[in-house]
Amino acid sequence: MTSELDIFVGNTTLIDEDVYRLWLDGYSVSDAVALRVRSGILEQTGATAAVLQSDTMDHYRTFHMLERLLHAPPKLLHQLIFQIPPSRQALLIERYYAFDEAFVREVLGKKLSKGTKKDLDDISTKTGITLKSCRRQFDNFKRVFKVVEEMRGSLVDNIQQHFLLSDRLARDYAAIVFFANNRFETGKKKLQYLSFGDFAFCAELMIQNWTLGAVGEAPTDPDSQMDDMDMDLDKEFLQDLKELKVLVADKDLLDLHKSLVCTALRGKLGVFSEMEANFKNLSRGLVNVAAKLTHNKDVRDLFVDLVEKFVEPCRSDHWPLNDVRLFLNQYSASVHSLDGFRHQALWDRYMGTLRGCLLRLYHD
Amino acid sequence: MPGKLKVKIVAGRHLPVMDRASDLTDAFVEVGARSCPSKHRERQVDDEDLQDEPLQITVLDHDTYSANDAIGKVYIDIDPLLYSEAATVISGWFPIYDTIHGIRGEINVVVKVDLFNDLNRFRQSSCGVKFFCTTSIPKCYRAVIIHGFVEELVVNEDPEYQWIDRIRTPRASNEARQRLISLMSGELQRKIGLKVLEMRGNAVVGYLQCFDLEGESGLVVRAIGTACTLDKLSSPATFLPACSSPSKDMKEIPFNEDPNPNTHSSGPSTPLKNQTYSFSPSKSYSRQSSSSDTDLSLTPKTGMGSGSAGKEGGPFKALLRQQTQSALEQRGGSPHRFCRRREFPFFTLTAFPPGFLVHVGGVVSARSVKLLDRIHNPAFVGIMGNTRSYKLLDWNSFNSDEPETRDAWWAEIRQEIKSHAKALGCHAVVGYSESTSICEEVCILSASGTAAVLNPRFLQDGTVEGCLEQRLEENLPTGCGFCHIPYDELNMPFPAHLTYCYNCRKQKVPDVLFTTIDLPTDATVIGKGCLIQARLCRLKKKAQAEANATAISNLLPFMEYEVHTQLMNKLKLKGMNALFGLRIQITVGENMLMGLASATGVYLAALPTPGGIQIAGKTPNDGSYEQHISHMQKKINDTIAKNKELYEINPPEISEEIIGSPIPEPRQRSRLLRSQSESSDEVTELDLSHGKKDAFVLEIDDTDAMEDVHSLLTDVPPPSGFYSCNTEIMPGINNWTSEIQMFTSVRVIRLSSLNLTNQALNKNFNDLCENLLKSLYFKLRSMIPCCLCHVNFTVSLPEDELIQVTVTAVAITFDKNQALQTTKTHVEKSLQRASTDNEELLQFPLELCSDSLPSHPFPPAKEHLESASSNSGIPAAQRATSVDYSSFADRCSSWIELIKLKAQTIRRGSIKTTVTVEKASPMGEGNFRNRSAPPCANSTVGVVKMTPLSFIPGAKITKYLGIINMFFIRETTSLREEGGVSGFLHAFIAEVFAMVRAHVAALGGNAVVSYIMKQCVFMENPNKNQAQCLINVSGDAVVFVRESDLEVVPTQQPAANCHPSCTEGEVTT
């Protein structure tokens, strides 16, 4: 007696969250059955392995049919084939687009191309995430990227509208898309200590302040290069950043800046002497990072530079986080008192974001 | 009675990409009611045609250089629009279905019908007769008169077997078949409707339509039902005029071209028939001879040679005959005008108004084996050669003897059923159903029902008054009356064992009762019920034609007997004494016969406590054998005790003497069994003769019996928190909560070895069913505590070694805490239920004023709530979709009138253009949303519930929108790519559900009740990577209102304004 055909179709589509997770994680039916057996479900329900097998197959088949719809979530809402309560629909979408921290760290900032897709094998072995799951996550990134790539308007809103993701997940995707578009280097050994959350935080700040959309004014000429408002950094802004060089090139200005900062922080900083000794180096580092951003290659190395030029020196001197905060606040605020410096707005736009990023990046 | 059909194509979405090069689809639509749209610009559409023909909308992809590609079709049955009070408009998203690719996108369609009512010269149509699949009086109606049995059948050649099928594409063939069947069922329904009008009824309840795919010899579509005169439960106008009328008017006024719309709402007590139908009785008589009403005079058991199963019982029959005659004499005393019409006093109903059912005799059934012959009729071939016009063939319109066969066959069976009922002292058969099983050219026809005595108050004529009167005089206590024997105690037609009723102590009752009906609402039950199944396989030699039929005929009586024994054993093992909803299905295959009986066992308080099961060995001198026997005996006793506890069967102790006979001597017993198995093939007869024993003896003298005992003990009870039954409601559970889940599960197994034994076969089959049930319990574990209701098993044998089991059922949750109390308050509850009529009257005003509410896909409050709670996801979706639809809607919003049969070409914008469309649209955002709200506000698709039951727990059905009867074929030539047989069928069934839901939603309904999957024929050819499946489903589309919502209705009244139908009304004017 062999089973040729075995199906179960409910008027309301049954969705087992546990099986869905196993499916998303890329387990084969037999692996999934084994895992379910191990979870002790047989003892709880008094079912047999055959029942479990049939149940798992059913769910896998359903998910397989749903997958096509999940690629365009609004379709899932409007399709008529599967009657799924809205809360379940949301769950299906949210889980489908969820990703593994380990995986996203591997591909963050990489070009979402076929070449990268070929490396998924290695990523799978490295992270222990099944290749199937890696592919799904990669394809999700790519799909979202393709859809919102050419769109104007807020990146997060666009993602939310077209993929019906939760606010949090949409923000994460915005970061992924932003990183993929600007190809920020995140894979260097130095950067390994950073989590996806750190990068996502920085990405959000950068999207808010450094992109075309951040200017906040409606573009006068819609045919100009305003199309990718949230995806691309504001080229003009990056060009202007060169002007900041004067802060370190002009020795008087640098000294004045240092004295202003030191006066304000004296007694408040545990690492005052180290700060005082390192001020010029740190300031040079931060300003040079800004000045270099005109080149695409240097943009990509932004995070490497930040860690090399600022995070690592501070860390080697064991600055506590609070001291870093006090320093950065004072460092950016003091510039306003420099009479000879004319690019206050530019400085604020640059330093405001950078300060937030650095504070987030500064940890072990 | 001509009419005007208006069709509007509003929008399309999710269309497949038909042009790979551009990733676009140039979709356009053809609307028609015939496959060959006529060239006349003006054509009158008679409502007769409207009834037969479904509206057909074909979506095509325009190709400049080659023939246009078909994307798919939508068939819309416009029947519901032809009733004066059902739906007034069909409007909504329909899946575009293709028989090769399945659902490919959706199309938004609005359909309306204007009938010119005054032109009623030749009444060939049966507009106005309502059809219900529900096998009880529909919830918002009252039965004025229950007229009786109506039946009809239509035969045609199967397009799949026409010569042209060799040269046409599978798609064309499938579509021809789908179309033909829908035409045939349309015609059938119309003819039945006519018969009902003749009987002066206005509705058919328990309408059951079936297809017999006879293969070479053709396609039979047959239907049975119960004609009734229904009266809508008194209108709310008298109670709450202010509230009810506005909502009604809002819906009706735009469509008021109909001269007498919903007059019932104004006059509460006016019977429906007075208003709607006017025709003279003499006229109806003239139509009496129509089609399949064969005259009673024929003696059924003679002449029909081709392998009719030997139905000649031995001495038993003689007794039956006697009884029949006496009954006939009684009846003959009152000659009546309507006698001829009521030749078969059958009722397809399974639940009845209180007081309708007086006594129940027992199950009556009849089977007959027939040989299907291809009928070579020149006229027939001549017409069918022309594939373009499916002129339906009514066999009777051909003046040959042969086409009468199918009718004659059924007439013969029905005649037999009738005589059996007579033998039981009953004048009627209730819970009546018919079925067939076909394999190659052999066909088993089966009919079964429950012999009963009915209260003539509900019947139009007094055919039965004579024999009833004396019974009615005795004041029958409720709760046990139906159990009392209808036959004369002194002149019993069979040796039965009777006791005084345990409830009233006045009347005699049998010790077990088998019926095909639902448990009467006033019955007193102890404990809970459970699903009882008897499963049986018998091998049979492969044979041809006559020999095959004979072999089957010879096997049938044994099968019936064994199935019955199994049922009886299992019933005893459960400690119960009555079966309801009994359905025995015998399926014939190439090399085996399958029997599957399902029923719901209960403990009726009126019947005596069932005795245990006694095991007796044949060779008592063997010590170890004895030990084995006693071991088994102990196990059985334990099981009975356990079951009693499980199902909470603890009848009050009877102090009086129990008039039970002692356990008969084993030897004598066995002789009795044998003699019967040889002489009879009738469930009834066996039933009652078995009923003689207080304790039941199983003699394990052969391996078969051994096996039986084992199978008894291997049946695993459902896990705790689960109950199952195959009746409408689970006896002993009254407190349903609102969660329901209808499902269909299909399993096919391949039998491994070639030389199977009966035992191995039985075991395989048993395991298949048990595993299937276990699987269901596992899948639905999240609903615990719940009950599987209306569990409907269907067995088919598609190929030599394949067994297919299809199960459709509904899982309903219930409140466990209250369930525990039911045993105590049971009588109270059942009394309550009997008086629901009164309650309904009171609650009705509330229901009606909320009439338009449920058709709104989502209560607005909820939508707001959702958008508020997650201001991100949902609104975004709305925006996105409104862009999508309206872009399309703008381009193609124009009415197409069917009469002109004009195909309109609609170009569809590509999806990629949606962004620019938004900008180009002259309307601002706000305006945009407002406008798109009514027709396409279903940004989330409205929920449509489906249930095989006639009710929805926790809700009131406020309106019946018409019958849903759909037939689909799906075929694939890329089976592997679609996920193998399982993937293919899974997708197909999901699609069928989707199409049913879409049609119901378009009618403005939110549920399907009495849903049934009547056919699921699956064929595969894995070597060729092909598979084909035919599915036939039916049910009643309804509008329901949650009982909890009824109170909040007034506040939500404004919500009705944005109902689609209202805005559509504006469009039309």
pLDDT of amino acid B600: 92
Residues A271 and A327 in one domain: yes
As for how many domains chain A has, the answer is 3
Residue with the two structure tokens 């639905």: B780
The size of the A-B interface in CB pairs under 8 A is 169
Q: Are B877 and A161 an interchain contact pair (Cβ–Cβ within 8 Å)?
A: yes
Residues A69 and A106 in one domain: no
Residue A240 covered by a domain: yes
For B476-487, the pLDDT digits (tens) are 445 677 788 777
Residue A201 covered by a domain: no
Q: Which 852-891 residues of chain B touch chain A by CB within 8 A?
A: 866, 870, 872-874, 876-877, 879-881
**β-sheet bridge partners, residue B959:** B1039
Q: Which 68-107 residues of chain B touch chain A by CB within 8 A?
A: 93, 95, 103, 106
The more confident residue out of B885 and B512 is B512
pLDDT of amino acid A357: 92
Residues A76 and A123 in one domain: no
pLDDT of amino acid B289: 30
Question: What distance in Å separates residue A158's CA from the closest CA in chain B?
Answer: 9
Q: Which 5-24 residues of chain A touch chain B by CB within 8 A?
A: 5-14
Question: What distance in Å separates residue A97's CA from the closest CA in chain B?
Answer: 14
- Which residues, 6 or more positions from B908, have their beta carbon under 8 angstroms from its beta carbon? B12, B15, B25, B26, B27, B888, B891
Distance of CA B505 to the CA centre of its chain: 38
B1065 phi, psi to nearest 5 deg: -55, -45
Question: B23, B103, B747: best mutation site toward chain A, by most A Cβ within 10 Å?
Answer: B747
From chain B, the residues in CB contact with A6 under 8 A are: 746-748, 775, 982
Distance of CA B109 to the CA centre of its chain: 28
For B446-504, the pLDDT digits (tens) are 999 999 888 776 665 444 333 334 344 444 445 677 788 777 666 665 666 777 887 77
Residue A204 covered by a domain: no
Per DSSP, the residues of B16-71 read PP-BTTTTB--EEEEEESSSS--S-SS--EEHHHHHHPPEEEEEEE--SSSPPEEE
B121 pLDDT band, cuts 50/70/90, is very low
Residue A151 covered by a domain: yes
pLDDT of amino acid B1047: 57
Residue A32 covered by a domain: yes
DSSP state of B611: -
B747 to chain A: nearest residue by CA?
Answer: A6
Would an 8 Å CB–CB cutoff place B1035 in contact with chain A? Answer: no
Residues A156 and A247 in one domain: no
Residues A37 and A128 in one domain: no
- Give CA–CA dist A108/A173, Å, rounded: 11
Q: Are A7 and B879 an interchain contact pair (Cβ–Cβ within 8 Å)?
A: no
User: Residue B542 pLDDT more than 70?
Assistant: yes
Q: Are B989 and A90 an interchain contact pair (Cβ–Cβ within 8 Å)?
A: no
User: Residue B586 pLDDT more than 60?
Assistant: yes
Residue with the two structure tokens 């080229």: A235
pLDDT of amino acid A62: 94
pLDDT of amino acid B936: 34
Would an 8 Å CB–CB cutoff place A28 in contact with chain B? Answer: no
CA proximity to B156, closest of B382, B384, B372, B410: B384
The more confident residue out of B1056 and B214 is B214
Question: What distance in Å separates residue B274's CA from the closest CA in chain A?
Answer: 40
Please, what is the average pLDDT of chain B? Answer: 68
Question: What distance in Å separates residue B995's CA from the closest CA in chain A?
Answer: 8
For B968-999, the pLDDT digits (tens) are 999 998 888 888 899 999 999 999 999 999 99
Residues A33 and A119 in one domain: no
Residue A8 covered by a domain: no
- Averaged pLDDT for residues B852-866: 40
B946 to chain A: nearest residue by CA?
Answer: A11
Classify B479 in phi/psi space as left (phi over 0), alpha (psi -120 to 50) or beta.
left
Which of A183, A202, A217 is the C-terminal boundary of a domain? A183
- Averaged pLDDT for residues A181-189: 89
Alpha helices (H) along A26-154: 29-38, 41-45, 49-70, 73-78, 86-97, 101-107, 114-118, 120-127, 131-149
Residue A331 covered by a domain: yes
Residues A60 and A166 in one domain: no
Question: What distance in Å separates residue A221's CA from the closest CA in chain B?
Answer: 15
Q: Are A151 and B982 an interchain contact pair (Cβ–Cβ within 8 Å)?
A: no
Q: Are B987 and A65 an interchain contact pair (Cβ–Cβ within 8 Å)?
A: yes
Residues A247 and A357 in one domain: yes
Residue with the two structure tokens 């695409």: A296
Lowest mean pLDDT among A18-22, B32-36, B148-152: B32-36
User: Residue B640 pLDDT more than 80?
Assistant: yes
Q: Are B749 and A4 an interchain contact pair (Cβ–Cβ within 8 Å)?
A: yes
The ipTM assigned to this model is: 0.89
- Averaged pLDDT for residues B218-244: 68
- Give CA–CA dist B205/B196, Å, rounded: 11
- How do strand B955-972 and strand B1026-1042 relate by DSSP bridges? antiparallel
Using an 8 Å Cβ cutoff, are A175 and A200 in contact? yes
Lowest mean pLDDT among A4-18, B183-197, B659-673: B659-673
- Averaged pLDDT for residues A35-62: 90
B697 pLDDT band, cuts 50/70/90, is low
Residues A33 and A107 in one domain: no
Residues A69 and A175 in one domain: no
Would an 8 Å CB–CB cutoff place A57 in contact with chain B? Answer: yes
Q: Are B877 and A74 an interchain contact pair (Cβ–Cβ within 8 Å)?
A: yes
Domains and CATH numbers, chain B: 1-121 (2.60.40.150), 129-234 (3.30.110.70), 357-373+403-462+479-649+693-818 (no CATH)
pLDDT of amino acid B989: 95
Q: How far is CA B139 from CA B353, B372, B950, in A?
A: 11, 41, 8
Domain that holds residue A48: 17-84
Q: CATH number, domain at A347?
A: 1.10.490
Which candidate from A2, A50, A86 shows the least CB-CB separation from B771? A50
Question: A3, A6, A11, A151: best mutation site toward chain B, by most B Cβ within 10 Å?
Answer: A11
Residue A130 covered by a domain: yes
Give the CA angle between residues B192, B173, B801 to the nearest 5°.
90
Residue with the two structure tokens 């007694």: A267
Cis amide prior to B300 (ω within 30 degrees): no
Q: Are B749 and A1 an interchain contact pair (Cβ–Cβ within 8 Å)?
A: yes
DSSP state of B610: P
For B788-821, the pLDDT digits (tens) are 999 999 999 988 888 999 999 999 998 876 544 4
User: Residue B1034 pLDDT more than 80?
Assistant: yes
Residue with the two structure tokens 């009244």: B1053
Lowest mean pLDDT among A321-335, B431-445, B828-842: B828-842
User: Residue B926 pLDDT more than 50?
Assistant: no
Question: What distance in Å separates residue A50's CA from the closest CA in chain B?
Answer: 8
Would an 8 Å CB–CB cutoff place B798 in contact with chain A? Answer: no
pLDDT of amino acid B618: 61
Q: Which 162-221 residues of chain A touch chain B by CB within 8 A?
A: 162, 164-167, 170
pLDDT of amino acid B439: 86
The more confident residue out of A327 and A339 is A327
Would an 8 Å CB–CB cutoff place B816 in contact with chain A? Answer: no
- Averaged pLDDT for residues B753-768: 81
A87 to chain B: nearest residue by CA?
Answer: B866
pLDDT of amino acid A171: 93
Would an 8 Å CB–CB cutoff place B751 in contact with chain A? Answer: yes
B665 pLDDT band, cuts 50/70/90, is very low
Residues A152 and A241 in one domain: no
- Averaged pLDDT for residues B534-540: 89
Question: B753, B774, B805, B862: best mutation site toward chain A, by most A Cβ within 10 Å?
Answer: B774
Residue with the two structure tokens 């170009």: B907
Q: Which 128-157 residues of chain A touch chain B by CB within 8 A?
A: 151, 157
- Averaged pLDDT for residues A132-155: 90
Residues A163 and A240 in one domain: no
pTM above 0.80, yes or no: no
Question: B96, B779, B800: best mutation site toward chain A, by most A Cβ within 10 Å?
Answer: B779
